[in-house]
């Protein structure tokens, strides 16, 4: 098949033929990405390097018991949505939750909110990171003196809550889950990297970079290219010593896959 200028078009299913990619996202978040990469011809290894552990949810229960006091709910991950949804259901707070304004990061997070029939997000930045949300919030007139609930991962960056406090908001940060190493995944990626069977690793957050670094000997890390979403993750990868082959600015899985294809097909 010939394209513009007589150039042969590569079939969709062969765009990444021969490229071996490790997807390090766990479970429901990693599966769709892995399948999208397979559709364009990549050989995909699904290797979760972490597992999600639920923390004591008593603080989140206390916050949800008084959900009406919050003007905004901040949600930056699917895991945060699912933990909040669990507590909302246990407390019978669905009606109150349905009227809260939502600010979310990422298409997957927004889709998780939709699945629970919550309000359509009022703020959803194109940039899939906290800085993108702050930029949009700074343009609004209803942030000063508002109160916000932020269910988060333990040890999450404080860029978002501190930035919103600087805009005059009160932000209650409630850690409700944490990432823990997955020994099986770590062993598997070490084995594949040592055998030279991985060409690229996807990393979606600085925490994913940390998990990858923890799993690998330094000599493997320095020669294992990564595909990162956003400048924050890409910067973390470079600091850790990983060559960044792909830096996607897209806020969607489709955009990420397109950036990976572009890096290999030019």
Q: What confidence tens digit (pLDDT) does each residue in 189-247 have?
A: 999 999 999 999 999 888 889 999 999 988 788 889 999 988 888 999 999 999 999 99
Confidence band for 128, pLDDT divided at 50, 70 and 90: low
Indicate the average pLDDT of the chain. 89
Percent of the chain whose predicted confidence (pLDDT) is above 90: 67
In the prediction, which pLDDT does 180 show? 85
Structure tokens at 227: 């595909």
Residue 7 has pLDDT above 60, yes or no: no
Nearest to 173 by CA among 105, 75, 263: 75
In the prediction, which pLDDT does 237 show? 94
> For the whole model, what pTM was predicted?
0.75
Residue 95 has pLDDT above 90, yes or no: yes
Encode pLDDT of 143-189 as tens digits: 999 999 999 999 888 899 999 999 999 999 999 999 888 999 999 99
Q: How far is CA 104 from CA 14, 35, 109, 147, in A?
A: 35, 25, 7, 16
């Amino acid at each position: 098949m010939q394209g513009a200028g007589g150039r042969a078009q590569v079939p969709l299913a062969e765009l990444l033929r021969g490229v071996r990619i490790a997807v390090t996202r766990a479970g429901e978040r990693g599966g769709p990405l892995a399948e999208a990469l397979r559709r364009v011809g990549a050989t995909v290894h699904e290797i979760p390097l972490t597992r999600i552990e639920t923390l004591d949810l008593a603080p989140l229960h206390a916050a949800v018991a008084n959900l009406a006091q919050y003007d905004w709910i901040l949600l930056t991950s699917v895991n945060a949505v699912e933990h909040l949804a669990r507590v909302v259901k246990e407390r019978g707070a669905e009606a109150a939750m349905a009227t809260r304004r939502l600010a979310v990061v990422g298409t997957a997070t927004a889709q998780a909110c939709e699945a629970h029939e919550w309000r359509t997000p009022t703020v959803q930045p194109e940039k899939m990171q906290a800085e993108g949300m702050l930029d949009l919030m700074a343009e609004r007139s209803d942030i000063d003196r508002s109160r916000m609930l932020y269910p988060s991962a333990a040890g999450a960056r404080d860029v978002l809550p501190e930035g919103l406090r600087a805009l005059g908001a009160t932000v209650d940060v409630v850690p409700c889950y944490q990432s823990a190493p997955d020994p099986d995944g770590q062993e598997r990626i070490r084995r594949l990297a040592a055998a030279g069977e991985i060409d690229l690793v996807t990393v979606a957050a600085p925490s994913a970079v940390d998990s990858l670094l923890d799993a690998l000997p330094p000599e493997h890390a320095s020669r294992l290219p990564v595909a990162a979403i956003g400048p924050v993750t890409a910067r973390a990868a470079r600091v850790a010593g990983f060559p960044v082959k792909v830096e996607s600015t897209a806020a969607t899985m489709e955009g990420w896959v397109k950036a990976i294809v572009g890096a290999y097909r030019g």
